[in-house]
Structure 1
Amino acid sequence: METFLIRALQLILSLSLLVIVHEGGHFFFARLFKIRVEKFYIFFDPWFALFKYKPKHSDTEYGIGWLPLGGYCKISGMIDESMDTEQMKKPPQPWEFRSKPAGQRLLVMVGGVLMNFILALFIYSMILFTWGDSYIALKDMTYGMKFNEQAREIGFRDGDILLSADGEELTRFNGDMIRSIVEAREVTVLRDGEEKQILMPELSLLDVAQQSPMFVSVFQPNVVDSVIAGGGFAQAGIQKGDSLVAFNGTEIRSWNEFLDQMNRLQLNAELQEKTSGEFTLVYSRAGIRDTVNVQTDASFKVNAYGGLIDYKVTDVSYGFFQSFPAGVMLGINTLKGYANDMKYVFTAEGAKSLGGFGTIGSIFPKVWDWQRFWEMTAFLSIILAFMNILPIPALDGGHVLFLLYEIIARRKPSDKFMEYAQMVGMFLLLALLIWANFNDVMRFIF
């Protein structure tokens, strides 16, 4: 329960900040061009609001709604989420959105996306300034990588050190590295002191990301690093420094393979409705092998750790002014990666992988970690900016599309067309929201 509350609080805080900044972008440009803003709300307020306040001599009511699906800035003289069509039947007023030049209206509509992107760049810059950047370079991972069966069929071998993909250097183990490998035509690795080129077939990043065992992971030697008293390993007599040789008769050559076998054991036990598991383990100590039976706990753990390697860590620190170009590059690369991955959403597997609030909340850490919180907030700000600029009616991108049409064709779409387009867009977004959260429910049940 505590974990749920911590994640929920981080999600609400992050989304509230992003909504304020996004709607603040619309508000800023609207007021800059002397357009009246009737409402500025965090979250939606159908039927009632949790809080509302209208300052004296102000045209704007500020409030907090009860439906946490975003927020809105009700601008006079435009068809938006409020669907206030009665206002549009009246003669245009000079303070209304529809009375302003197309260029000004365009800036009002892209203001939210612009502010979200600027916010992400600023957060990334401040993360680098405050915490710097620490990572283990792939070239320093001297034990190389561990590959699954599909990767080995392509030509990779356990222990390969990843060097480059299509000539671009691979520097660190992360999602961008996986993407580079999957989309490359040729990957170069260091094997037994020699560079080898591996020709890549056409792969789906979505399929690779869902594989278990992982397509590629950091190789962990099959050596026990620590044993917790009272756990399964401790009861079986396993000690620090022992090497794992076989699991239920299957040879294991790395800690990665041991964890894979543990996962299979758990799945089989759960299918048989067992609350724990037992397996036979062969281990080696000082060149002498022995066989023991190991009992897991109710969480199918043996309370031991292994495969830890003291690799060299690369630490990079940034001065205040140095952090901004580095933060901008990090934000742009994040946007490029996310935009590139969007093509998978329009596949059957991609639709199944969509997630709602449960999925978004799960990306936040179980304990409060400010660095991780700001990293996730910056990433969500990138997503919000990208999703809102898509040319879908009811999103900012839909309004931008119609404004561009007006600029090119030199005539506005009719109010009736805009009304229908807004309704269709809202229906599509609602359906997407229901589907994404339905996926979350199904994952929770199964």
Structure 2
Amino acid sequence: MEGLIMAAQLLLGLSILVGLHELGHLVAAKVFGMRVEKYSIGFPPKIFGVKVGETEYSIGALPLGGFVKISGMIDESLDTHQLATEPKPWEFRSKPAWQRLIVMLGGIIINVITGIIIFIGLQYFLGDRYFSVDEVNKHGIYVTELGEEIGLQDGDKIIKLNGKEFENFNDARNPNFLLETGSFYTVLRNGKEVDIPIPADFIGRLSDKNVNKNFMDIRIPFKVEKLQQGSNAEKGGLKADDVIVAVNDQPINYLHEFRAVLQSNKNKEVAVKVKRDEGEKLLNIQVDKKGEVGFFIKYLLEPSIKNYSLSESVKLGTVEAFAVITVQLKAFNKIFQGDVSASDSLSGPIGIAQIFGGTWDWVKFWTITGMLSMVLAFMNLLPIPALDGGHVVFLSYEIVSGRPPSDKFLEASQKIGMVLLLCLMVFAFGNDIYKLF
């Protein structure tokens, strides 16, 4: 079931983004009087299609993409038979270069607008919910093996990022911070300030399939909020407001400790000591095959909540959307410098589906879809033939020089670009499959 939910979220997200991207090309083309022959979400073979006016609108069986076919344009279809005749007034090639440039930028512009709107909506309707540094530092952090490798320790209290104080603890794990050259934490440890530098290859190590991605997190004290009806916790006698203090004689102070001991006792009965009212109770509770007992958790840390006006949301949402592009640029820089492996950083459809996760969470869905919209815009702007960015380069050359590249050159470039993209897709799929094992 989790796999189906992952796949459904991936397909819905990509269908929305690809559909809007290609719609951007279509609308721009029609505005300038170009004939659009086909508009498809998904690649052939065609499942369904309907012709409206001069354009056939269809859905393809391969849902990981889409296309528009504009008359008189050398595109991924490599249909060049029209080029042997004189340009018709409705063809792409007969229009001024600036109009053709806008058509090629249409999809990118729509994806940027979509990403910005999604992030504005998330800010306006949800605001920010986070743990402040002051709240987190009541108990400090815990770290996994990778966190220990870079010098962090259980109980550290992060007080500065790159020498500056900060409020939102999420900033300490923000990719923009982790990718910045020379980044470092300042932590309070045993009453002393200690600087912890972030290694240049840290993101690459974090991307390793054998590494726990959550290299550090908040130590959260907790109690039982309420029980799931018919759960093992209820059968074992656990009650709302119980505070779990030990499992199998192992002291429990924080949520991550409790979860770890349950994971190591799947399908076993454990002795759970709880603090209840003024006394303590010892309960025997069965752990299920997922490492759970069945109750809702009440955090004993107070989150900070900020709500924003529409004008504030527009500003913050726009900044957050373009921060995705900044992360991409920093990641590419790390790859080119050799600090990060391309295989560790690149994800295909399987990897993206795993990011969505196996439970349907609309907030997470729209957050990831907004990020993907900005990434799709960025990737399409890369100057690779067969991508929009390749067309943009050739059209910019034509505008500056006053003469277009030859049709043969454009056709050859398109073929080279298609081969490059095909190789990239094969690599991404293969890389995803490798990471599964």
Question: Which residue does the alignment assign to 1:90?
Answer: 85
Provide the rounded CA distance (Å) in 2 between the counterparts of 1:424 and 1:157.
50
1:246 touches 1:252 (CA, 8 Å); kept in 2? no
3-state secondary structure, aligned to 1:212:
coil
1:402 aligns with 2:403: no
Aligned length: 426
Q: Is the contact made by 1:125 and 1:328 (CA closer than 8 Å) also made in structure 2?
A: yes
Query: In the alignment, which residue of structure 1 is the partner of 2:75?
Result: 80
Partner of 1:63: 58
State the Cα deviation string for residues 376-399 of structure 1 (Å, max 9, x = none).
221221121111111111110111
Contact 1:247 1:261 in 2 (8 A): no
Equivalent of 1:172, from 161, 168, 175?
168
Shift of 1:310: 2.2
Deviates more, 1:369-378 or 1:290-299: 290-299
The answer to whether the 8 A contact 1:45-1:66 is kept is: yes
Select between 338-347 and 231-240 the one with higher mean Cα deviation: 231-240
**Contact 2:270 2:287 (8 Å CA) reproduced:** no
Task: Choose which of 308, 319, 322 in structure 1 pairs with 2:312.
Answer: 322
Match for residue 381 of structure 1?
373
Corresponding position: 1:159 with 2:150: no
Instruction: Please list the CA deviations of residues 139-183 of structure 1 after superposition, one character each: whole Å capped at 9, or x if unmatched.
Output: 321211112345345443322222322234444344772532464
**Do the aligned partners of residues 413 and 225 (structure 1) sit closer, same or farther apart at CA in structure 2, a change above 3 Å counting?**
same
Report how far residue 432 of structure 1 moved: 2.4
Q: Cα distance 1:237–1:86, how it changes in 2: closer, same or farther (>3 A)?
A: closer
Match of 2:50 among 52, 61, 78: 52
Counterpart amino acid of 1:325? K
User: Residue 154 and residue 437 in structure 1: after superposition, are their counterparts in 2 closer, same or farther (change >3 A)?
Assistant: closer
Output the CA distance in 1 between the equivalents of 2:281 and 2:299: 25
> Displacement of 1:441 after TM fit?
4.0
Match of 1:145 in 2: 141
Output the CA distance in 2 between the equivalents of 1:151 and 1:428: 37
Distance in 1, matches of 2:351 and 2:213, equals 22
Query: In 2 relative to 1, CA 261–107 (structure 1 residues): closer, same or farther, beyond 3 Å?
Result: same
CA distance in 1, matches of 2:420, 2:224: 52
1:393 to 363, 367, 385: 385
- 1:282/1:289 contact within 8 Å kept: no
What amino acid maps onto 2:16 in structure 1?
A: L
- C-alpha change, 1:145 and 1:85, in structure 2 (3 Å) is same
Residue 388 to residue 175, structure 1, CA distance change in 2 (3 Å): farther
Residues 220 and 300 in structure 2, CA contact (< 8 A), matched pair in contact too: no
Change beyond 3 A, Cα 1:182–1:245: farther
Partner residue, 1:27: 26
1:331 aligns with 2:299: no
CA distance in 2, matches of 1:33, 1:309: 57
Post-superposition offset of 1:313: 1.7
- Displacement of 1:283 in angstroms is 7.3
**Which has the higher mean CA deviation after the structures are superposed, 108-117 or 27-36?**
27-36
Alignment partners' CA distance in 1, 2:184 and 2:15: 44
Q: CA deviation at 1:122?
A: 1.0
Task: Note the C-alpha offset of 1:407.
Answer: 3.4
1:99, CA displacement in angstroms? 2.2
Relative distance call for 1:198 and 1:360 in structure 2 (3 A) is closer
Q: Which amino acid in the other structure matches residue 112 of structure 1? A: G
Judging changes above 3 Å, is the alpha-carbon distance between structure 1 residues 164 and 181 closer, same or farther for their aligned structure 2 residues?
Answer: farther
1:113 counterpart = 2:108:
yes
Q: Give the letter aligned to residue 34 of structure 1.
A: G
C-alpha separation in 2, matches of 1:115 and 1:143:
45
Does 2:381 match 1:415? no
Over 3 Å counting, the alpha-carbon distance change for 1:260 and 1:4 in structure 2 is: closer
Alpha-carbon distance change, 72 to 278 in structure 1, aligned in 2, over 3 angstroms: same
Amino acid paired to 2:314 = F
CA contact (8 A) 1:391 1:400 kept: yes
Partner deviation per Cα, 1:276-316 (whole Å, 9 max, x = no partner): 56699897979x9999999753334455788x642222211
TM-score by length of 1: 0.80
Distance (Å, rounded) in 1 between the aligned partners of 2:10 and 2:19: 14
- Using the size of structure 2 for normalisation, the TM-score is 0.81
Long gaps (5+) in structure 1 = 267-275
Q: Does 1:298 align with 2:293?
A: no
Q: Work out whether residues 343 and 431 of structure 2, in 8 Å CA contact, stay in contact via their aligned partners in 1.
A: no
More moved, 398-407 vs 196-205: 196-205
> Match of 1:427?
419
Structure 2 residue matching 1:363: 3-state secondary structure: helix
Query: Structure 1 residues 62, 134: closer, same or farther in 2, change over 3 A?
Result: same
- Partner Cα separation in structure 2 for residue 371 and residue 423 of structure 1: 40
